[in-house]
Every structure is written in C-alpha cells, then in structure tokens.
Chains A and B, each alone.
Chain A
Amino acid sequence: MIRIAGAGWPTLLYKELLRFWKVAFQTILAPVLSALLYLLIFSHVLESHVTVYGGVRYTEFLIPGLVMMSVLQNAFANSSSSLIQSKITGNLIFMLLPPLSPGDLYAAYVLGAMVRGLVVGSGVFVVTLFFVPSLLAMPHPLWALAFALLGSAILGTLGLLAGMWADKFDQLAVFQNFIIVPLTFLSGVFYSIHSLPPFWQAASRWNPFFYMIDGFRYGFFGQSDVPPMFSLALVAGCCAVLSSLTLTLLRRGWKLRH
C-alpha cells in the first residue's frame, strides 16, 4: 500500500527555492539594487576621503563588503521569513506532519537560505564588475567562496532560530533590525577597522560578522585586517555551535511542536 519513501528534505529545499524564485523581484532584484545604490553613493562620497589597505581603491574595497553583506542579509531573510510566514499562516503543519527529521528541516531551510544569499551576492558581484572589472582577477577565490558558504550557513541558521523564536512578524523585525543589521553595518563593510579609534577596533573584534567580511575580502585582495586562517577557524566554530544549538532545539520541537 505505502510506497517505499525516500528522503523528504530535497522537496522541502525545492519548496524553499521555489518560494523565493516566484517573487524574485522582491527577493533577488531588490537587494541587488540596494547594494548598487550603496556602491554609487558611498564610492562617490568617500572615494577620495577614505584610505583602506595600501594599493586598494575605496570602491574596490567596498565591493566585496557589499557582496558579503548581501549574502548575509539575504540568507537570514530567507529562512526567517519563510518560517515565520509558515508559522503565522499555519501551513507549517504541512512540514510537521510528514516524517521529516530535525536534520531534514535544518538542511532544507539552511541550504535554501544559502542559495538565496549566494544568488543575491553573485548578482551584486556581477553588476559591480561593470564598475571595477579588475575585481574578477581574485588572488584567492576559494577563500572567498569558503567565507561566503560559511557566512550564508550561519545567517541561514540564525534566520531559522529567529523564525522559530518569533511568534509575530514584529518580533522578527526586532531580531533583524536590532541584531542583524547593526552587526552587518558595523562589521567593516564600509571601512577597514584599522581606520577606527582603538575602542571601536577592539569592539569590532567581538563581532563575528567582521571576520566573515574580512576573510571574504582576503579572497579579493590577498590582504585582510586579521589573518584569514584565524577568521576561518572562528567563523567555522560559530557555524558549528549555532548549528548544534539549532538542531538541539529542532529535536525538542522548541516552539514548533507544543
């Protein structure tokens, strides 16, 4: 009677991808446009005022930061908004009734978030190449890729946590506006932390997003504020801790199964 069933999570991943693809104007094109606006405004205003690393123009420096910021913010937005919408509309039940394990739910939501983040990030990168084509000649593309993957996984996981925790859109907005946005804006997207006063330099080192962006930038310039291996270890550690926390909460059905 019942057919032998395979894994259900690829379908949940497919659903997650279809969900943002169907509203691509809002989920892909809009964030690419905002990143482009940041680039035009900041590079116009700051190009001749801000010094970053030796030999790197401000606009060049800014672009990898904007790409990574887009990756991070969109990865977070994807898993968090998908989950909260399902919770509020009640259709989360369609995912809770089937035999999807906590690991299945985790894999599908986080991979979906990573794809959205990486698609938007690639979009921003492709568009900005018109302004600075030389960026294509990255000295360490694999480093950049490693940070993009880990960063999007972390933010996808944070989005999943925020979506589980929040009972209303309002609470999710608090998480996003008071935690995610400040941490990304104050992570060195728009400046090198070496240009900051000592106190803020020290404070930035407590911000995990700083290491994601700094490490990502290393892939483009072969230079960074902290050694890339250190950043990689720290970011991978964050990813491992957050993932195991999220998996534990999913196993307990925290705020999902009552």
Chain B
Amino acid sequence: MTAAVEFVGVARSFGSVKALAGVSLAVEEGEFFGLLGPNGAGKTTLISIAAGLTRADAGTASILGHDVVRDYRAARRALGVVPQELVFDPFFSVRETLEIQSGYFGIRDNGAWIDEILHHLDLTSKANANMRSLSGGMKRRVLVGQALVHKPPVIVLDEPTAGVDVELRQSLWGFIRKLNRDGHTIILTTHYLEEAEALCGRIAMLKAGKVVALDTKHNLLSRFAGITVRVGADRVPAAWQPRVLREEGGLHFVALDHYADLEMLLQEMRKEGLAIRELALLEADLEDVFLKIMGGDLRGAPAGAAA
C-alpha cells in the first residue's frame, strides 16, 4: 500500500540551525496521525516540506506516492494544509476566498461543496462577510475550509485550534473526525496534548529535528507513561521510596513498570504490617509520555523510531 505521506531521510538546516536531522516517517492512508514536539522541534518545517513550501536539503517527501518536488502538481492536489499562521486576503469575502482557492486547483463550479464546508464550519451566515470583519476563530475556520476546497485525500492541520474557543473546537473536531471516517488521512500538529490523545491513533514525537518516538497512542501510553498507583498508608516500604513520585496528605503516588509490580508492592506492605486505607490505579496520559520523552528519560530505545 502506498503511504499517504512518506518522508525518507529528510534533513533541512537554516544557517547553522539544524531544523530537521534526517526524518523518516510514513503515515498510512486513513490514519489520524499526531505530530508532537516542543517549539522548534521541526514540526512545521516537516509539514512545509510536504507542502512544497520549503525545500529539503536531503531526503524525499511524497504524498500518496507523488514526490513533492518532481511530481508537485499531483502531490499538491492530494494535500490540503491548514497553516499555523492566521492569514487571510483582506480584499475578499468568505465565499470569494473559497471560490478563488478552488479555482487555483482548477476547480470551477464548486458551489455545492463550498456550501457544505460553510455549513460544517458554522460559517454559512458569514459567507458574504469580508474576511477583515471576522473574528480570529472564524478566520481560522475559513483557513480550514480553504484547505478542503479540493477534497484532498490527505489533510494536514498545523496547530489548528489555537485561538478557537472551546465550543467551536468541539464542532471543528467533529467535522475533522467525520472527514477521517470518510477515508481522509489526517495529520495533526498540536500543543494541546489532550487533543492529540483524544483524536490520534498513532503519534510521532519530534525533538531537535529527530523522531524520538513513533508508535500507536496505546503503546506509547503503556510503554512510556508506565502505571501510577495511589496508595493511602502511613508510609511505603523503604525499598519503594525511590519510586514515589509525590506525597499528598498520606497519599503516596508510586510509579510501577508493570502490573506485576503492584502485586510485589502489596506483598511487601503486608509483610511490614502497613495498613492500606486507599488504593487506586491512575491512568497515564499523553502529557506524562511527552514530558518523559522530551526530558530524555526514554527507558530504553524509542519504539520504531526512525524505522
């Protein structure tokens, strides 16, 4: 199967700054893929290379098998990008903006699809309003609409919910999820880790221009976040003290590597006659994984990184 988006050994420097240091990564068709990393990790550079906005110093990128440089027309037709910057053309209305964007892709009479986009993005009442008169959140939704005018099979959203209020964020994600169910491949970069956790099936984490983790969300969570157990007791056995993440009013948060460790902990507490007042297993979240990976605490090799 052809990958929706494939990067092979992509490197790019800006002056002495190495933005990307050899990134290889394949996103399969139909995935909802997350690209995470701190500022300056190279996420936007990577996306810009896929979109043909930036040239790679080395390596190749392709969209559905079309090389983004050699076969740029087919590659760009297959790709819709929602840029990070809130940009607009002040000369035009919302509908004109979407019609003109359709025309750039050689599509005329796109009215029915534009109406549908406007409806899903809750912009129907603003169709004839000038872009200047829109709020930031509305402008952001027009950008999403512009990325969809040509019904691209692959959609990249670069920080799409910055500045969009919570309610609209939900409806935006509803729409993007629907597009994913309809078969569109979605690639998302976001600073909101809870968004990535809620939406993405597979996640790549970038750090200093390198892929430091690449796996399903489920595997990342179980692999990197480990398990935290909250034990209410006077103390935990001395051997377990180094594993205590924090303590709050007699509650000890203990990091476990495996569920088997829980059995050991309980045995030792029984042995020392420590009464357990409360016991709860805490679910890991992506933020823990993110912080652990970005902090360099990898506990072994990253799964499938640079594969």
Q: Which bracket fits the contact residues of B? A: 35 or more
A8 and B54 contact, CB distance less than 8 A: no
From A86-94, A157-165, A223-231, the one touching the partner chain is A86-94
* B256 interface residue (CB < 8 Å to A): no
A5 and B77 contact, CB distance less than 8 A: yes
From B83-91, B211-219, B234-242, B295-303, the one touching the partner chain is B83-91
A97 and B76 contact, CB distance less than 8 A: yes
* A49 interface residue (CB < 8 Å to B): no
* B52 interface residue (CB < 8 Å to A): yes
* A139 interface residue (CB < 8 Å to B): no
Q: What 8 new A-B contacts, CB under 8 Å, besides A5-B77, A11-B103?
A: A1-B151, A11-B104, A14-B103, A91-B87, A96-B52, A101-B73, A258-B14, A258-B53
- Closest A residue to B88 using CB positions: A91
* A194 interface residue (CB < 8 Å to B): no
A2 and B150 contact, CB distance less than 8 A: yes
Cα A7 to Cα B103 in complex, Å, equals 8
From B105-113, B164-172, B258-266, the one touching the partner chain is B105-113
Provide the main secondary structure of the chain A interface.
loop
Q: Which A74-122 residues sit within 8 Å CB-CB of chain B?
A: 86, 89-91, 93-101
Given contacts A97-B81, A98-B101, A89 and B87 within 8 Å (CB-CB)? yes
Query: Which B residues lie within 8 Å of A90 (CB)?
Result: 83, 85, 87
A8 and B53 contact, CB distance less than 8 A: no
Q: Which A residues form the contact surface with B (CB < 8 A)?
A: 1-3, 5-8, 10-12, 14-15, 18-19, 22-23, 86, 89-91, 93-101, 253, 257-258
14 residue pairs from A and B, CB less than 8 Å apart? A2-B78, A2-B151, A5-B106, A5-B150, A8-B103, A10-B103, A23-B91, A89-B88, A89-B89, A89-B90, A94-B100, A96-B53, A97-B81, A258-B54
* B34 interface residue (CB < 8 Å to A): no
Query: Which B residues lie within 8 Å of A258 (CB)?
Result: 14, 48, 53-55
Provide the main secondary structure of the chain B interface.
loop
Query: Which B residues lie within 8 Å of A86 (CB)?
Result: 89
Query: Which B residues lie within 8 Å of A99 (CB)?
Result: 72-74, 76-77, 105-106
Query: Which A residues lie within 8 Å of B91 (CB)?
Result: 18-19, 22-23
Of all A-B residue pairs in the complex, the 10 with the closest CB atoms, nearest first, are: A11-B103, A5-B106, A98-B104, A90-B87, A99-B73, A6-B106, A99-B76, A8-B104, A91-B89, A91-B87
Given contacts A5-B150, A89-B89, A257-B55, A94 and B73 within 8 Å (CB-CB)? no
- Closest A residue to B147 using CB positions: A97
